[in-house]
C-alpha cells in the first residue's frame, strides 16, 4: 500500500529536522523537496522563474521511476495521465533495417507522459508537504563554512542551511565540473495524436538516416481523463545547424522530414511556425563524487547525458529517494551525504557509461558507427540473451538501484 499524497513514505526519523535549501525546481528538486519535507525537514526551494514551469514536452517514466513515485503515493495519479509504452522500435532508412527493437518483459512497461503532468504532481506534493517555494531567484554560487551552507543569489546570501542541494541541471553554476556539450540536440513539439496515421500508440517509434538524421514519435498521454491524447514529435538537429533551421523556410524542413518518414505528414500539418518547436541542447557529465561538505548534486547536475536511454527523469527520482533514505538512516548530515553518494554510485556509472557508448551510434556525424549498427547491432539485439538485457537496460533496473532504497517494482 503506497502512502497518500502529503504523507511520508515511511515513519520520519525521531530527531529534529534539518534546514535544507534546494536550488532548482525541476524533477530532481521537486521530488527531493516533497520527500524531505514529508520527513520533517524545513525545505526551501529556489527557482529562477517567476512561476515554476516544466521545460520540455514529453518523457518516459520507467519501472524504477514508477517505484519511487509509488513510495510517494503518486503512482496512481501518474498512471491516470500516462500512456503505456511496451516497445521501442526504430528503422534505418532507406533500407528499412530494424536497428532498435526493445520490448518490455513480463507485465512491465514504460509510461509516456507530458512533462507538465509529472511536474504538476511533484510540485503539488512538495508544496503540500510544506516545502517553501521562492521563485524569481537566480543562483550564482554556494559557500560552505562552519558546517553550514549558504546559497549566493542575485539578492545576496541566503541561509545558513544544514544542507544545500544542487538541482540546477546540466548547466549548473554550482557544479565543480562543467558538462561537455554534445554536438546533437533535438527539436521537440507537443502535438495532437494523429489517429489513423498508422503510428503505434504503444511504442516509441523512430526513423534514422545514418546517425545524423532521426525523427521520433511518442504518445504521451493526457492531462486529464477526458482530454485528447497527445504526441511528442522530435527531430535530431546538430547545434551548428540550429540558426540556419530557425531562420530558414519551415516548408523546406518539412520536406526533409517527409523524405525520411512520410507518415509524419499529419503531425507536420499541425506545425505552422518555428516557435512551436523547442530546441533541446544536450551535454554529458558524470561527477566522480556528487557531494562535498554540505552540498549534494542531484539529477543532471550530477549526471548529465543525452536522452537516448530515456533515463533522465528516472535517475532524478532515484537520486531524490536515495538522499531521503540516507538522511533517515544517518543522523549526521555529512555521513548522510556519503551514504547518498554510495547508494547511487554504481547505478549512475553503469547508465552514464551505456549512454556514452550508445549516443554516437544514434546521434553523431560518424559514417562507420551507423553501418555497424545497421548490420550488426540490429540482428544481434534479437538473439538471446540480448532482448532481456536490453529490456532491463531500458527499464532502468540494471545495477539493482531499488535494492538499497528498500523499494521494489510495482
- State pLDDT tens for residues 17-53: 999 999 999 999 999 999 999 999 999 999 999 887 7
pTM over 0.85: yes
Joined together, the cell numbers standing for residue 131 give 516545502
Residue matched to cell numbers 551535454:
283
Joined together, the cell numbers standing for residue 359 give 549516443
| Closest by Cα among 241, 248, 236, 235 to 274 | 248
Q: What is the pLDDT of residue 365?
A: 96
Q: How far apart are CA 277 and CA 260, in angstroms?
A: 19
Residue 225: burial class (beta carbons within 10 Å; 0-12, 13-18, 19+): exposed
User: Residue range 65-85: average pLDDT?
Assistant: 97
Q: Where residue 224 falls among pLDDT bands split at 50, 70, 90?
A: confident
- Partner residues linked to 133 by β-bridges: 45
CB count in 10 Å sphere of residue 47: 24
What is the DSSP code (8-state) at residue 61? E
Higher pLDDT, 182 or 377: 182
Specify whether the CB–CB gap between 395 and 62 falls below 8 A.
Answer: yes
Specify whether the CB–CB gap between 323 and 32 falls below 8 A.
Answer: yes
Least confident of 12-16, 128-132, 142-146, 147-151: 12-16
Q: Decide if pLDDT at 225 tops 90.
A: no
Q: Decide if pLDDT at 376 tops 90.
A: no
Total residue count of the chain as it appears in this document = 410
Q: Decide if pLDDT at 397 tops 50.
A: yes
Q: What is the pLDDT of residue 370?
A: 92
Q: Decide if pLDDT at 352 tops 60.
A: yes
Joined together, the cell numbers standing for residue 355 give 549512454
Q: Decide if pLDDT at 270 tops 60.
A: yes
Q: What is the pLDDT of residue 11?
A: 39
Q: What is the pLDDT of residue 7?
A: 39
Q: Decide if pLDDT at 12 tops 60.
A: no
Look at residue 182 and give its three-state secondary structure.
Answer: coil
For residue 149, give the H/E element and its range.
Answer: strand 148-153
Query: CA separation (Å) from 279 to 39, 45, 187, 266?
Result: 38, 27, 4, 21
Q: What is the pLDDT of residue 1?
A: 31
Neighbouring C-alpha atoms within 13 Å toward the C-beta of 339 = 19
CATH T-level fold of 19-181+282-405:
FAD/NAD(P)-binding domain (3.50.50)
Bond from prior residue into 359 cis (ω within 30 degrees of 0): no
Q: How far apart are CA 346 and CA 364, in angstroms?
A: 27
User: Residue range 339-365: average pLDDT?
Assistant: 96
Q: Mean pLDDT in the chain? A: 93
Q: How far apart are CA 329 and CA 268, in angstroms?
A: 52
Amino acid at each position: 500500500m503506497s502512502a497518500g499524497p502529503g504523507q511520508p513514505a515511511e515513519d520520519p526519523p525521531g530527531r529534529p529536522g534539518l534546514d535544507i535549501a534546494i536550488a532548482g525546481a525541476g524533477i530532481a528538486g521537486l521530488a527531493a523537496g516533497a520527500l524531505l519535507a514529508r520527513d520533517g525537514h524545513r525545505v526551501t526551494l529556489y527557482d529562477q522563474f517567476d512561476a515554476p514551469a516544466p521545460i520540455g514536452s514529453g518523457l518516459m517514466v520507467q519501472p524504477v521511476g514508477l517505484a519511487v513515485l509509488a513510495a510517494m503515493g503518486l503512482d496512481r495519479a501518474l498512471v491516470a495521465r500516462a500512456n503505456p509504452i511496451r516497445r521501442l522500435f526504430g528503422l534505418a532508412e532507406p533500407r528499412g533495417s530494424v536497428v532498435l527493437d526493445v520490448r518490455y518483459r513480463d507485465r512491465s512497461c514504460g509510461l509516456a507522459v507530458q512533462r507538465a503532468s509529472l511536474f504538476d504532481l511533484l510540485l503539488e506534493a512538495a508544496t503540500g508537504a510544506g516545502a517553501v517555494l521562492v521563485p524569481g531567484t537566480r543562483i550564482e554560487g554556494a559557500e560552505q563554512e562552519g558546517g553550514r551552507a549558504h546559497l549566493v543569489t542575485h539578492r545576496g546570501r541566503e541561509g545558513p542551511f544544514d544542507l544545500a542541494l544542487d538541482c540546477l541541471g546540466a548547466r549548473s553554476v554550482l557544479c565543480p565540473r562543467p558538462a561537455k556539450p554534445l554536438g546533437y540536440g533535438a527539436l521537440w513539439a507537443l502535438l495532437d495524436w494523429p489517429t489513423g496515421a498508422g503510428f503505434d500508440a504503444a511504442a516509441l517509434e523512430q526513423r534514422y538516416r545514418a546517425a545524423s538524421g532521426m525523427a521520433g514519435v511518442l504518445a504521451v498521454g493526457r492531462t486529464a481523463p477526458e482530454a485528447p491524447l497527445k504526441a511528442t514529435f522530435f527531430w535530431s538537429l546538430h547545434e551548428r545547424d540550429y540558426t540556419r533551421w530557425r531562420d530558414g523556410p519551415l516548408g523546406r524542413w518539412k520536406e526533409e522530414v517527409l523524405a525520411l518518414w512520410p507518415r509524419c505528414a499529419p503531425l507536420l500539418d499541425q506545425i505552422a511556425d518555428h516557435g512551436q518547436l523547442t530546441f533541446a541542447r544536450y551535454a554529458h557529465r558524470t561527477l566522480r563524487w556528487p557531494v562535498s561538505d554540505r552540498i549534494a548534486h542531484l539529477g543532471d547536475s550530477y549526471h548529465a547525458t543525452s536522452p537516448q536511454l530515456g533515463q533522465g527523469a528516472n535517475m532524478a527520482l532515484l537520486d531524490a529517494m536515495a538522499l531521503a533514505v540516507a538522511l533517515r538512516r544517518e543522523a549526521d548530515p555529512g555521513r548522510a551525504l556519503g551514504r547518498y553518494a554510495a547508494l547511487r554510485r554504481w547505478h549512475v556509472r553503469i547508465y552514464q557509461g551505456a549512454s556514452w557508448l550508445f549516443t554516437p551510434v544514434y546521434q553523431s556525424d560518424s559514417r562507420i558507427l551507423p553501418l555497424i549498427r545497421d548490420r550488426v547491432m540490429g540482428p544481434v539485439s534479437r538473439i538471446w540473451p540480448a532482448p532481456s538485457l536490453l529490456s532491463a537496460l531500458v527499464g532502468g533496473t540494471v545495477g539493482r538501484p531499488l535494492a538499497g532504497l528498500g523499494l521494489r517494482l510495482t
